[in-house]
Amino acid sequence: MQTARRLYVYLLAGIGLGVLVSGISLLLTTVLEAVGIGGGAVLSGEQATRERLTLATAMTAVSLPVWLIHWFLAERSVHPDRAAADVERSSAMRGLYFALVLGGLLIAAFVTLDSLITDAVLALLGEDVAFATHAGDIGLFVTAAAAWGYHLAIRLRDWRRGPIHGAGAWLPRAYLYVATFVGLFVMLFGLAQLLGLVARLALGDGAEPFDSSASWWALPLASALSPVIAGGATWLGHWWYASRLWADPGYRGTIERPARLRFAGFVVVLVVSAASALGFGGEVGRLVLGALLGVTDADPGAGGLLPDLVAAGAAAVLFAGTWWLHAGWLRRAADDPEAAGVVPRVDRLIAYPTALVGLAFGAVGIARLLGLVLDLLLGGGRVLSSGETSERVFAQFVPYAVLGIGTWLWHWSTIRRAEAADPAAEAASTVRRGALLLTLAVSLLAGVASLGVVLYRLFGTLFGLEVPGDVTSQLSLPLGTLAVTVAVAVIHGRLLRADASVRGEDAEPAAVVAAAAAPEVSLRLVGPAGTEPGTLAGVADALRAQLPEGFELRDDRRMS
C-alpha cells in the first residue's frame, strides 16, 4: 500500500516539476527578450512573443498546483512529527526521485551553461555573435539551477534529521558519483582539446589551410574552454561535496566511507582514464611509426607532425596522471578501518580493471597484426576494404599492441605476486573471478562472431555465392581475431579451473562420482513358503555381520 502511494506521489511530483521548470524557463525567456537581454525578440516578432507568453503562463498555471500538492504530501510524510518519518526518508521512491530530479536538472543547467560560455568566450575574443540568442539558455539555466539548489537543500535537510539507509541512500549516491565522473571527463577531454589547440598555435604555422581568417582559432578555443569550465565546475562541486561526506565525523561519514558505490566510482575512473591514456599513447606511436614509414597523415596546414605529436602526448600524460591520482586516492580510501570489510585488498581493484583494459588494447592490436600477416603471406589483394596499405595498418596497430600488452603484463605481475603470496585468498576473490569470467565471456563472444564471419564467407564460396572482394583479405582479420580470442579464452579458462581447484570445489563432485561408480550386485533373499518377515530380516542381519570391511548389504524395501 505504501509503495503504491509513494510511486503515485513522487511520479506526479516529478512530472509536475518537469512541466513547471519548462513553463517558468519559457516565461523567463520571453521576459528577457522583451527587455532586450539575450536577443531574439526582433527576429521572433510580437505575435510569436505573445504566443510563447501564453504557452508559458498556461504551463506554469497548470503544473504549479500539481507539483505543490504532491510535493506537500511527500514532505508531510517525512515531517519529524510523523511516526514513520524515518522509514519514508529511507524509502526507495524518495531516493529515486532525488536521483532523477537532481540528475535531470543538472543536465539542463550544464548544457545551457556550456552554450553560454562558448558564446561569452567568442564575444570576449571580438567575434561576431550578434545573431546568437541567449535568452533561452539564460532562462533555462536560472530555472534549472534554482530547482536543483532547492532539492539539494531538501536532501541535506533529510540527512540532518537522521541517518538514511538502503535505496534511499544509495540511489542519490549513484547520482553524486555519476555526476562527478561525467564532470571530470568532460573537463579532461576539453583540456585535451585545448592542449591540441595550444600545440598548433605554438608549433604550427598559425593559419588553417582552408581559412584565411587571422582568428581561425577563436571557435576551437571557445569550444575547448566551455567544457573545461562547465565540466570542471561540475566535477569540483561534486568532488568537494563527496570529500566532505568522507571526512564527516558523524553518522554521515560512517555510512559513506564504506559505501561500495564510492569504490566503484574510483574503479570506473581508473578504467576510462587508462583506456584514454592508451588511446592517446597509441596515437603518438602511430604518428611516429607513420613518419618513419613515410605514411604519416599529419595536417600540413597545422604545422605538420610536431603539433599533433605534442598534443597527443600531452593528452596521454594528462589521462595517465588522472589514473595515477585516482589510484592513490583509492588506496587512501581503502586504508580507512571502516572500509576493511568492503575492500580487503585494494590492489585488486587497481590491478584487475587496468590489466583488462591493457589486454583489450593488446588483443585488438595483435589480432589486426595477425590479420595483416595472414593477408601478406597468403597473397591477399588488399589489407582492408578501404584499401589501406600494410604500412598504415602496421603503424596504427603496433603501438596499441605494445602499449596494451605492456600495461597488461605490468599489472598482471602484481596479480601474480599476490597469488604466490596467498593462493587461497586470491582464488576466492570475487574481483578476480569477475575479471576472469568477463574476459572469458568477451573473448568467446568475439571468437564466435569471427568464426561466424569465416564460415559465412567459406560457405558462400562453396555454394557459389558471388561476394565482391578478395577472399583472403576478407578472411584475414576474422582469422586473426579468432586466433587471439581462442588463446585468451583458453588461458583464462584454465585460470578459472585452477582457482576452483584451489578453492576445493572439485572435491565434492569427485566424491559423488566415485560413489556413483562403485560396483554393485543386486540380490534377492527368498525364504520357504510361510516364512515370517521377521525371520527374513534376521537372516539378512546375520549375513551383514559376515560381510568383509567396506561391503554393504542394503535393504531396498526398508529404504523405500
Write down the pLDDT at residue 164.
Answer: 92
CA angle in degrees (0–180, nearest 5) for 514-520-521: 175
Residue 106 lies in a domain: yes
Residue 401 lies in a domain: yes
Q: What is the DSSP string of 416-471?
A: HHHHHH-HHHHHT-HHHHHHHHHHHHHHHHHHHHHHHHHHHHHHHHHTT---SS-H
Give the Cα separation of 450 and 477 in Å (integer). Answer: 8
Q: What is the DSSP string of 92-143?
A: HHHHHHHHHHHHHHHHHHHHHHHHHHHHHHHHHTT---TT---HHHHHHHHH
208 pLDDT exceeds 60? no
Residue 139 lies in a domain: yes
Q: How far is CA 417 from CA 345, 432, 456, 496, 503, in A?
A: 13, 14, 44, 17, 18
- How far is C-alpha 132 from the chain's CA centre? 36
- Count how many Cα atoms sit within 13 Å of the Cα of residue 452 in the half-sphere of its side chain: 6
CA dihedral 60, 64, 67, 73 (to 10 degrees): 180
Residue tagged 595517465 (cell numbers): 320
Backbone angles phi, psi at 380, to 5 degrees: -65, 155
Backbone angles phi, psi at 134, to 5 degrees: -105, -10
Mean pLDDT of the 177-193 span: 96
Give the Cα separation of 359 and 439 in Å (integer). Answer: 9
Write down the pLDDT at residue 210.
Answer: 47
Query: Do residues 12 and 100 lie in contact, with contact meaning Cβ atoms separated by under 8 Å?
Result: no
Residue 331 lies in a domain: no
Mean pLDDT of the 249-269 span: 91
Write down the pLDDT at residue 417.
Answer: 92
Among the listed residues 559, 435, 416, 408, the one whose alpha carbon sits nearest the alpha carbon of residue 496:
435
Q: Tens of pLDDT along 437-487?
A: 999 999 999 999 999 988 887 877 777 666 666 667 778 888 999 999 999
Give the Cα separation of 52 and 72 in Å (integer). Answer: 29
Residue 253 lies in a domain: no
124 pLDDT exceeds 90? no
- How far is C-alpha 305 from the chain's CA centre? 33
Give the Cα separation of 196 and 315 in Å (integer). Answer: 8
Backbone angles phi, psi at 404, to 5 degrees: -65, -50
DSSP 550: T
Domain closes at, from 164, 196, 221: 164
Write down the pLDDT at residue 460.
Answer: 77
> Could you tell me the three cell numbers for 384?
582492408
Residue 427 lies in a domain: yes
Write down the pLDDT at residue 74.
Answer: 94
Mean pLDDT of the 88-99 span: 94
The structural domain count of the chain equals 2
Q: Tens of pLDDT along 54-67?
A: 899 999 999 999 99
> Could you tell me the three cell numbers for 202?
605554438
Q: Tens of pLDDT along 305-343?
A: 888 899 999 999 999 999 999 999 999 988 888 877 788
Residue 324 lies in a domain: no
What is the domain extent for residue 17? Answer: 1-164
Mean pLDDT of the 160-165 span: 91
- Residue of 277 and 220 predicted with greater confidence: 277
Residue 179 lies in a domain: no
Among the listed residues 283, 313, 308, 319, the one whose alpha carbon sits nearest the alpha carbon of residue 400:
283
Residue tagged 569550444 (cell numbers): 223
Provide, rounded to the nearest whole percent, the portion of the chain with pLDDT above 90: 51
Domain closes at, from 129, 145, 164: 164
Q: What is the mean pLDDT of the chain?
A: 85
42 pLDDT exceeds 60? no
Mean pLDDT of the 421-436 span: 90
Write down the pLDDT at residue 560.
Answer: 37
Q: Tens of pLDDT along 493-541?
A: 999 999 888 887 654 444 444 444 556 666 677 777 667 666 667 767 7
Give the range among 7-16, 105-114, 447-456, 469-478 with minimum mean pLDDT: 469-478
- Residue of 540 and 23 predicted with greater confidence: 23
